[in-house]
Structure 1
Amino acid sequence: MGKMLRVDSHQHFWQLNRGDYHWLNAEPATINRDFLPQDLQPLLRKNAVDYTVIVQAAETVEETDYILELANTHPFVAGVVGWVDMNSPASIKILERLGQHPKLVGIRPVIQGIADPNWMLKPELDTIFKYLIDNDLSFDALVKPIHLDALYILLQRYPELRVVIDHGAKPDIASDGFNPWAEKIQKISEGSHAFCKISGLVTEAGASASYAKLYPYMNHLVSCFGAHRLMWGSDWPVCTLAATYDEWIGYLDTFLKQFSLDEQKSIWGESAVKFYKLGVV
């Protein structure tokens, strides 16, 4: 058996002195510091991870330019999910510029931080959603269970939009919030072509993170999306609030052993390559 491709579909870098990571001020000191490629590379080597996708961690175009520069100089970065202000008339022009970079694969607005849970349905966003479709760029949906009704409508409105749901839509695992999350995520999986990331769950479990606590949520995501629409991601370094990179991969490794080799390959790497259209072999 050849080596199984592993693609970490969701990781971040940040450099505090850049000045655009204001949200980190409210976070514990363990993650309110620089996290750079040299910090991640030993973890990738140790866990046989071949490639990663960097996801924006600041709501500035400058940060997207910064992570695209990191992608230029670090071959393990296969793709970048950036940010533009989708409310701004200038966003199309900015996307045209960013899209010239071969590793820009899509964008992610920070929906979880927007007060209106129906924000994504605003008619003014129609132009940019159509631009993403026409230019084959993907959309990372950073949502919580409160957003799933609106997300379902969005997916019906734009069936050609390539959407991946970050962190399984962040169920409240710490408080045993399985329902109605489970019903709504199932409705989305059955009524759309959306992909989903099996990432970020360990952070949602918080101090009570354990394999037993995570299992029902991971299992439900596989039941809903199947292995071919599910991709793993570390959400490093945010995941370190609840588990190390090694521990989270260990949970996944244990969980995925129950599935066929083909299904394991999909979740570990092939789904991410397919969804993001990553130029890797």
Structure 2
Amino acid sequence: MIIDTHLHLIYRDRLSYPWLAGVPALDADFTEETYAREARRLGIAGALHMEVDVAAGDMARETAMIEALAGEAGSLLVGAIAACRPEAPDFPAYLETVLATPFVRGFRRVLHVVPDDVSEGALFRENIRRLAGAGLNFDLCVLPHQIDKAIALADIAPDVSFVLDHCGVPDIKGGGFDVWKGPVAEIARRPNVTVKLSGIPAYGSESWTLEDLKPYFAHVAESFGFERMVWGSDWPVCTLGGGLSTWIDATHALLSGVSLEDRRRVLSENARRLWKVAPKA
């Protein structure tokens, strides 16, 4: 049984996605129905929707849309990780609105699409600290050279639970292991950070193999341990690296030498604990 902690849904007739124009392969509709048809066959029993960097004016509408989809018969959606702008003065009011929606289990602000100093601002950091009292996790989406920015956030908000998306976004295709490994080991020293095993097929070459992924998996496993690792599909971005079925197969292969207890932790139990969610099936 798997809980997917990183599902993106795209409905271009309902929301605005400015970044899609630069990624033609993803400039299409990716619906919950399409995802669920394949996901159920692969053992996925619940999914958290990850915000898709919609236009700022659509952030609340995205959450409302996902919650409505979750209420439809047969939906696998069990919660949402919502978009936010901690650098904005109106963040406290936005947080109060979100707290009235138990469906939201956490926040994300993609940091590699904004200047590096955005997360260093006093207001940004003050608002991140607010999440401790709210019981909401914060997903960190940064490039390897920005992991020090993520470390700084984890340090100034030790009572907030952070999740490092996509294993820290290593440049697998470009052979970026040495640049990436040190920062990942350093952020793993923070007990309030969990790593998300997701995204990495899209960072390899078109002909990536399991052997290409193994060193990266081994390093995050050694650095974080299986008690602080969760799994995410990163669908539909994973279609750039072979698709959902391919990533599930690779995941099982990577975990083949791991105890059953640790596999359960990575694939579902850690997600249940962090986001307080349960499978739908």
TM-score of the two chains, using structure 1 as the length reference: 0.93
Q: Give 1:27's aligned residue.
A: 23
1: CA distance, partners of 2:158 / 2:10: 33
**For 1:6, which of 2, 5, 9 is the aligned residue?**
2
Cα offset for 1:65? 2.5
The answer to whether the Cα contact below 8 Å between 1:155 and 1:192 also exists between their aligned partners in 2 is no
Cα offset for 1:141? 0.4
The answer to whether the Cα contact below 8 Å between 1:14 and 1:57 also exists between their aligned partners in 2 is yes
Cα offset for 1:19? 4.3
1: CA distance, partners of 2:18 / 2:41: 31
Secondary structure at the counterpart of residue 179 of structure 1: helix
Deviations along 1:190-215, one digit per CA (max 9) or x if unpaired, are: 23320010100001114132111111
2: CA distance, partners of 1:236 / 1:221: 21
Q: Give 1:107's aligned residue.
A: 107
Secondary structure at the counterpart of residue 18 of structure 1: coil
Q: Give 1:236's aligned residue.
A: 235
The answer to whether the Cα contact below 8 Å between 1:81 and 1:107 also exists between their aligned partners in 2 is yes
Aligned residues: 275
After the TM superposition, which residues 81-230 of structure 1 pair with which residues of structure 2 at under 5 Å, given as runs? 81-116=81-116, 118-230=117-229
Q: Give 1:50's aligned residue.
A: 45
Cα offset for 1:279? 4.4
The answer to whether the Cα contact below 8 Å between 2:87 and 2:121 also exists between their aligned partners in 1 is no
2: CA distance, partners of 1:276 / 1:223: 23
Q: Give 1:80's aligned residue.
A: 80
State the one-letter code of the partner of 1:41.
A
Cα offset for 1:150? 1.7
Alignment gaps of 5+ in structure 1: none
Please report the RMSD computed on the Cα atoms of aligned residues, expressed in angstroms: 1.6
The answer to whether the Cα contact below 8 Å between 1:165 and 1:194 also exists between their aligned partners in 2 is yes
Q: 1:55/1:249 Cα in 2 relative to 1: closer, same or farther (>3 Å)?
A: same
2: CA distance, partners of 1:7 / 1:166: 15
The answer to whether the Cα contact below 8 Å between 2:45 and 2:279 also exists between their aligned partners in 1 is no
1: CA distance, partners of 2:65 / 2:150: 29
Cα offset for 1:260? 0.5
Secondary structure at the counterpart of residue 188 of structure 2: helix
State the one-letter code of the partner of 2:268.
G
Q: Give 1:257's aligned residue.
A: 256
The answer to whether the Cα contact below 8 Å between 2:63 and 2:82 also exists between their aligned partners in 1 is yes
Paired-residue identity, % = 27
State the one-letter code of the partner of 1:110.
V
Alignment gaps of 5+ in structure 2: none
1: CA distance, partners of 2:13 / 2:275: 30
Deviations along 1:29-87, one digit per CA (max 9) or x if unpaired, are: 4x211111110111111101110110000243222332232233365212200012222
